[in-house]
Structure 1
C-alpha cells in the first residue's frame, strides 16, 4: 500500500495533476510526500475520504496554495488547525463523519468557500465567524449536538441550502429570515417548539423540512403553500363550554374568541395572543378609517399585518396573520409531487384555526 501511495503521488507531481485521489488508502497520517520541498503548487482537488486521519498539517496552505476542493469525509479528525484559514482559494470543504468537537474561528477566513459540510461530528456550537463566509452557498451541520445556530449566519448572503437535521435545536435565530437567497432549510429531528413568525417571507425560500419535531404544533403563515416536511403539528383538543368573554375598550366592545379561554397543553392547541389580537381587530373594524387605530397606539409593522391578512383558511375562511395549523398530506398526493427529490415523506401545510381543525377531525 505504501509503494502504491508513493507511486500515485510521484506520478501526480511529475505530470502536474490538478486532481489527486487518495480515498481508501488506510492513511493514519497526512502523506509527507505532499508536503516535501515546494509541495504541489498546481494541485486543485484533493480527495482523502475513508481513511484514518486524525489531524491536518499546519503548513497545508503553504504546500498546497491553489487547493480549491478538499474532501476529508469519514476520517477521525478531531482538530482543525488554525492555519486552515490560509487556504484562501478553497471553495469546497467536506469534514463530514469525523470526530470534530470544535470548529476554530479561523474558518471564517475562507472567503472563497462555497460549500461546507460538517455533518456527523460532535459539535456543540459553531463559531460566529461562519457569518463571514459571504460566498457560502451550502452548509450542512446535521447529526451533531448543536443547541443553537450562530446569529451571524444571516451575513452569509449567498447561502442557498442550510441543513441542520438531527441536532438538539430548540429555536432558530430570527436573523435567518433575512437570508435573501435561502431556498432550502432543513431542521428535521430536532427539539423545535416554534419557528420565527416571518420564516418564509422571502420568495426564494421554497423548501422547509421540520419533520420529527414532536413539540412543533404550528407553522408561520408565510409557509402557506410552500413545500414543507412536518410531523407533530396541528393537534387540537376540546375547548370547554364556558361563557364567552368580551373586551371593552372605551365605547368599543369586542367578543373574544373561545380559544382565549383554553389552556395550552400537549392535547390542547391555542392560538398565540398576537394572532388572536390581529383576527379580532381585523374583524371588528373598517380598515379604511385609519384614525380609529389612534387609541390603540399600534406600531406601523403590526398595523400593516392587521390590515392585510397573509391568507385565509381554506375551510373556515378566517384570516391568517402570524401562524397556521397544519393538515398533513403526503407530497405524492398533491400537485407538488416530484418537485423535491428527498426520499423522506414531505407534506404541504394548510391553514386552519383550532376550532376548524376540531370540526374537520369530527367529520373525518
Structure 2
C-alpha cells in the first residue's frame, strides 16, 4: 500500500508535466509559425517553408489583407491539412509551385483552377478520392504528382494541360486512363504503377514527346499495338502484370522492364495463337463484334471492312481539315474514332490497321533479351497488315 500511495501522486504529476510541456511546444510552434509568415511578408520572400508544422488548417496569416502577392513557392509537407481555402488564388496569385506532400487532404476546391501561374502541384500521400475537373484550367502546369491517394478515375479535363510534362498517379485505384490524355502534347513522363489498369488507351501512342512510361503492378492483359513506335519513347516498365503475355515488337530495342509478366507457367508454342487471340479480343472492346478479327499466315485476302477503313483513312490523313469532303457514310462511333486513331500500324510497312491484325510471335526465350529478363514468360509480338508482311517480318531487322 505504501508503495502504491507513493507512485500515484508521482504519476499524476508526471502527466500534468507532460501536458504542460506539450502546451509549451504547441505555443512555441504557433509563435514560430507567426514569426515565419510575418518575416516572409516583411521581406517579400518568394519561397516559404512550412513543412512539419503540425498544421490542421491552412494558416489564416497567409490569407490576411493582401496575402502574399509576391510568393512563388509554398512548401507544406507532412502536416495534417484536410483541404485548401477557396481564396488561395486570390491571396497567393503568383504561386508557381505548391508542395503538399503527406497531408490528409481529401478535397481540392474548384477554385484551384484560378492559380493561373502554377507550374508544379504535388498532392502525393494524401486522401484524395476525386480530382475536380477545374484541374484542367491550370494551363501553365508542368508537373502534377498525385501518387498514393485513393483516386478511382481522372477527369477528362486533364487533357487541357497542354504544358504538362510529368504526371505521377501511382498507388491509386485507377481502373483506366482518360482517352483525352493524348492531348497533353508536352507529356514526357507518365507513371501509373500500382493501380487497377486492365488496358491502356491506344490514343497514348500519339504522345510523341513521351520518353518514359511506367505501368508496373497493374492488371494489364494487352498493350496498344503502336506502343514504342515513337522514337522518343525509350523506357517502358510493365513489371508484375502477371496476365500480360505479349509486348509490341516496337519495344524490342527499348529499355523495358517486364519481370513477373506472362503466365505463371510457360506457354506451349501451339497455344500462343489462341492466347493472343483472347488478348486481342479483350483489347478491341468497343468495336463491333464482327470486326474483331485476327488474321493468319494463310489469309491472302484482307476483309472488305478493313480495305474500306484504310481508304477512308487515307482521305482523312491527307485532308485532315476537309472532313466535309468525305462521302456521306454511317458508321458506329467507334469506327469513326478509328479514322483519327487507328488500332495500330503495320510493324513491317507502317500501313494503318483498323479491324484486323496479323500477329507474329517471338517468344522471349528465342531473343537476345532472354538472359536479361529471366522472371517472365512474355513474348514479343509483331502486328502486320497482311499475310505478306507477316511472312517477311523479322524481329531483328
TM-score, with length taken from structure 2: 0.68
1:8 equivalent to 2:8? Answer no
Query: Quick one: distance in 2 between partners of 1:3 and 1:303?
Result: 62
- Alignment check: 8 A CA contact 2:197 2:218 kept: yes
Task: Rate the CA distance shift 1:2–1:161 in 2: closer, same or farther, 3 A.
Answer: same
1:180 counterpart (190, 208, 214): 208
1:151 equivalent to 2:189? Answer no
Query: Quick one: distance in 2 between partners of 1:106 and 1:48?
Result: 22
Q: Name 1:67's counterpart in structure 2.
A: 95
- Alignment check: 8 A CA contact 2:177 2:200 kept: yes
1:237 equivalent to 2:237? Answer no
- Whose helix fraction is larger, Structure 1's or Structure 2's? 2
- Alignment check: 8 A CA contact 1:275 1:323 kept: no
| Higher Cα Rg, which structure | 2
Consecutive unaligned residues of structure 2, counting only runs of 5 or more, are: 1-28, 282-291, 314-342, 352-357, 383-397
Q: CA deviation at 1:238?
A: 3.6
How many positions carry a matched residue from both structures? Answer: 302
Q: Name 2:295's counterpart in structure 1.
A: 277
Q: How does 1:1-364 map to 2 (within 5 A)?
A: 1-230=29-258, 231-233=260-262, 236-238=266-268, 263-264=274-275, 277=295, 279-280=297-298, 299=307, 300=310, 305=346, 308=349, 324-327=362-365, 351=380
Paired residue secondary structure (2:295): helix
Q: CA deviation at 1:308?
A: 3.4
Paired residue secondary structure (1:224): helix
Consecutive unaligned residues of structure 1, counting only runs of 5 or more, are: 240-257, 285-292, 311-319, 335-344, 354-364
Q: CA deviation at 1:326?
A: 3.4
Q: Name 2:289's counterpart in structure 1.
A: none
Deviations 1:201-259 (A, max 9, x none): 111111111000000011112212111111223764346xxxxxxxxxxxxxxxxxx66
- Alignment check: 8 A CA contact 1:128 1:152 kept: yes
Deviations 1:46-101 (A, max 9, x none): 00000000110000000000000000000000000000000000000000000000
Paired residue secondary structure (2:35): helix
Q: CA deviation at 1:346?
A: 10
Q: Name 1:250's counterpart in structure 2.
A: none
Task: Rate the CA distance shift 1:13–1:142 in 2: closer, same or farther, 3 A.
Answer: same
- Alignment check: 8 A CA contact 1:46 1:70 kept: yes
Deviations 1:292-324 (A, max 9, x none): x689785348998386399xxxxxxxxx96665
Task: Rate the CA distance shift 1:203–1:21 in 2: closer, same or farther, 3 A.
Answer: same
Paired residue secondary structure (2:64): coil
Query: Quick one: distance in 1 between partners of 2:121 and 2:347?
Result: 46
Deviations 1:34-57 (A, max 9, x none): 000000000000000000001100
Query: Quick one: distance in 2 between partners of 1:64 and 1:37?
Result: 11
Paired residue secondary structure (2:346): helix
Task: Rate the CA distance shift 1:195–1:34 in 2: closer, same or farther, 3 A.
Answer: same
Paired residue secondary structure (2:236): strand
Query: Quick one: distance in 2 between partners of 1:224 and 1:294?
Result: 27
Paired residue secondary structure (1:111): coil
